[in-house]
Amino acid sequence: MSSSETATQRESAIEQHSIDYVPQSERHGKVWHQGPFWFTGNFVLPTMVAGFVGASMGLSVWYSVLAIVLGVGAGTFFMAFHANQGPRMGLPQMIQSRAQFGSRGSTVPFAATVFVYVGFLVFDTVLAEQGLGLLLPDGKLFWFPVLIAVSIVIAVVGHDLLHFVQRWLTYLLVVVFAILTVVAIVHFGSNPTPADVPAAAAGWDMTAFLVQFSLAAGYNISYSVYVSDYTRYLPAKVRARGLITAVYAGAAFSAVWLMSLGAILASYLPNPDPILALREVGDLLFPGFGLIVVMTSVLALISIMGVNAYGAMLTGASAIDGFRKVRPTVRLRITGLIVVGLVSLVVALLIPDDYIGSFNNFVLMMLYFLVPWTAVNLVDFYFVRRGKYAIAEILKPDGIYGRWAWRGVTAYLLGFAAMIPFFSTTFYVGPVADALGGADFSFVVGLTVSGVLYLLFSRNLDRDAEAVARAASEAELEGTSS
């Protein structure tokens, strides 16, 4: 790439890269930016909804908060360690999976990932429309397309705009929700608990505790699928410890805060609706403050919708590229984003009004499908290949990593199969979960089985051939020899 082409890309408002490698000459950004990015990315209403479940099952507020803290702490651990892959490899998160699964075998986790992105887009759209409905006329047939279109425009501009919006929204969210949280704690803590709300009969319940723990863990593990999408532009030499810490702090703090607020609202309000609950509690400070809280939440939802659309586009393009080579152009990004938007719009229009029950099942399904992938991906990066890959070969559908890499695919499928007896959803409860009263330990099983099996399968990898390919890859991508 010539210096003039590089300069043109830097000056362009629209991001030029998609599933391709980001050269060192185009790396930019600061590690601390990752903290507010992931704080705002997680500070959205679906996060609060994930905190409803413990209280709805009879768990007291403090036990719910404990389950949330432990679950978020565990789930974010795995999510944050993916951050280091971005600057080391310069690639979006999911295309890296080709090194473990092959260019076509990676469609197994890719399909689950697109499901996650579209699911979040749908729930965010529904919640944002409900929030806007408190202030503006017209219903879903108007606002669903408008909201999705705005998120697509943000995603078209791309990486830098998403970082900018997320970073500056952090300040607004912290101020508004700090006030709301204080109001909720003071009000509910100083008033007698009515006999008809969950807190009046809440206490300790092992099943409810474990379900809340699993939901909290699974929710943050779901962010693993696009962590390095937003770290891949950082310089390759950034310190891993600082980067992982920034991502962990941002994602964990916001999840603990908002899920705990959800636990409080679900404990003291009968059958809480996230939008109406925010307005009701906010208006305790002064009439109209609840509406300010809701509109602030809508802004955060639109921002994260852009993030999800962006990730769905990258993953979908990566999947297609495994079967038919595509050029990573701006046109490809725009076309992919339009397709994602249309699919999300159709699903959003078809989803039932009682979406909270659907949302809880959705989070659990994310956990089931993504846990084996994150185990394989992290074990490969940190223990097998130790961050050393032939990047140019990953980008080739028929490169040295193959089309179907049996080690990753087998470890993933066996890990997923091992989890099935531990599943606990409203439509299926596995025999082990049933024997444990509905408690769900599946993610521990999936992480262990997939991770250990992949490590064992990888003992006979041909490291010498990969080392030769790695040297050629660096020369091809950066014009230098290693």
* Both tokens assigned to 137: 């006329």
CA angle 294, 295, 296 (to 5 degrees): 90
Is the CB of residue 438 less than 8 Å from the CB of residue 211? yes
Query: Distance (Å, rounded) from C-alpha 74 to C-alpha 66?
Result: 12
Is the CB of residue 234 less than 8 Å from the CB of residue 243? yes
Question: What digits encode the pLDDT tens for the residues 292-307?
Answer: 999 999 999 999 999 9
Indicate whether 442 pLDDT > 50: yes
Give the per-residue pLDDT at 270: 82
Between the two ends of the chain, the Cα-to-Cα distance in Å is 19
Cα dihedral 150, 145, 279, 167, rounded to 10, equals -20
Across the range 450-463, mean pLDDT stands at: 92
Categorize the per-residue pLDDT at 180 as very low, low, confident or very high, splitting at 50, 70 and 90.
Answer: very high
- Averaged pLDDT of the chain: 88
Give the percent of the chain with pLDDT over 70.
94
Give the per-residue pLDDT at 4: 43
Is the CB of residue 126 less than 8 Å from the CB of residue 49? no
The answer for residues whose C-beta is within 8 angstroms of residue 280's C-beta and 6 or more apart is 269, 290
Query: Distance (Å, rounded) from C-alpha 423 to C-alpha 87?
Result: 35
CB-CB neighbours of 10 under 10 Å: 11
Give the per-residue pLDDT at 322: 86
Q: Give 249: exposed, middle or buried? Use CB within 10 Å, 0-12, 13-18, 19+.
A: middle
Question: What digits encode the pLDDT tens for the residues 228-268?
Answer: 999 999 999 999 999 999 999 999 999 999 999 999 999 88
Query: Between 58 and 179, where is the model more confident?
Result: 179
Q: What's the predicted TM-score (pTM) here? A: 0.90
| Residue whose entry in the numeric block shows the structure tokens 């229009």 | 349
Across the range 173-188, mean pLDDT stands at: 95
Indicate whether 224 pLDDT > 80: yes
Total residue count of the chain as it appears in this document: 482
Indicate whether 480 pLDDT > 70: no
Across the range 418-447, mean pLDDT stands at: 86
Across the range 441-453, mean pLDDT stands at: 92
Residue 107 falls in which region: left (phi positive, over 0), alpha (psi -120 to 50) or beta: alpha
Indicate whether 5 pLDDT > 50: no
Q: Check the CA dihedral 128-229-74-206 and report its sign.
A: positive
Give the percent of the chain with pLDDT over 90.
56
Question: What digits encode the pLDDT tens for the residues 306-322?
Answer: 999 998 898 888 888 88
DSSP three-state, residue 6:
helix
**Residue 322: CA count within 13 A, CB half-sphere:** 28
Question: What digits encode the pLDDT tens for the residues 10-60?
Answer: 446 788 888 899 999 999 999 999 999 999 999 998 899 889 988 888 899
Categorize the per-residue pLDDT at 3 as very low, low, confident or very high, splitting at 50, 70 and 90.
Answer: very low
DSSP conformational letter for 385: S
Question: What digits encode the pLDDT tens for the residues 99-122?
Answer: 999 999 988 888 888 888 888 898
